[in-house]
Amino acid sequence: MEIAISKENLLKQADGLRELARRSRRLAETMTAEVDQRRLARVTEELKESATRLEQEAVAAKTG
């Protein structure tokens, strides 16, 4: 049995990922070690990319 993923659910997940990206960016700004700043910057970008993919999936998803 296949469960349809709703457009609203995808957008909610994308919003959550964007919020995590904002938090990780703010946390990176507080880090003193450059290696930690770079690592969190990568995580931030990955979260934003995942959010963008979910938003693109939402465009194709059925409402409901």
Looking at residue 1, its pLDDT comes to 47
Nearest partner of 51 among 4, 7, 15, 3, judged by Cα: 15
Q: What pLDDT, in 10s, does the model give residues 16-45? A: 999 999 999 999 999 999 999 999 999 999
pLDDT for 53 beyond 80:
yes
Looking at residue 62, its pLDDT comes to 66
pTM (two decimals): 0.83
Give the contacts of 43 (CB within 8 A, at least 6 positions apart): 24
